[in-house]
Amino acid sequence: MAGSAVITEHSLGDILEESDAREVRRSRGPRRPPLLLQLLRPEPMFWQLFSAGGFVAALLLPITVAVLLIEAASAPSEALSYERITRLADHLLAKLYLLALISLPLFHWAHRFRYTVHHQFGVHGLKGLVAVLCYGTAIAGGALTVLVLLGI
Partner 1 sequence: MRTEAPRRYPTYAPKVPRTWWLRTAPFRRFAAREFTAVFAAAFSIILLLFLFALSRGQEAYEGFLRWLGLPAVVVLLAIILVALLYHAGTWFRLSAHILGRREASRGAVIATLVAIWIAVSALAAWVYVAL
**Per-residue string for binding with partner 1, 7-46, x by CB under 8 A?**
----------------------------------------
Q: What angle do CA 66, 67, 73 make, to 5 degrees?
A: 85
- Tell me: does residue 60 bind partner 1 (CB under 8 A): yes
What does R_g of the chain's alpha carbons equal in angstroms? 25
For CA atoms 73, 56, 136, 149, the dihedral sign is positive
Please tell me the distance from the alpha carbon of residue 95 to that of residue 40, in angstroms, as a whole number. Answer: 26
Q: Which of residues 96-115 bind partner 1 (CB under 8 A)?
A: 98, 101-103, 105-106, 108-109, 111-113, 115
Amino acid at 42: P
If residue 89 lies in a helix (H) or strand (E), which one and from where to where? helix 82-89
Shortest gap between Cβ of 48 and partner 1 (angstroms)?
14
The residues binding partner 1 (CB under 8 A) are 53-55, 57-69, 71-73, 76, 79-80, 82, 85-86, 88-89, 98, 101-103, 105-106, 108-109, 111-113, 115-116, 119-120, 122, 141, 144-145, 148-149, 151-152
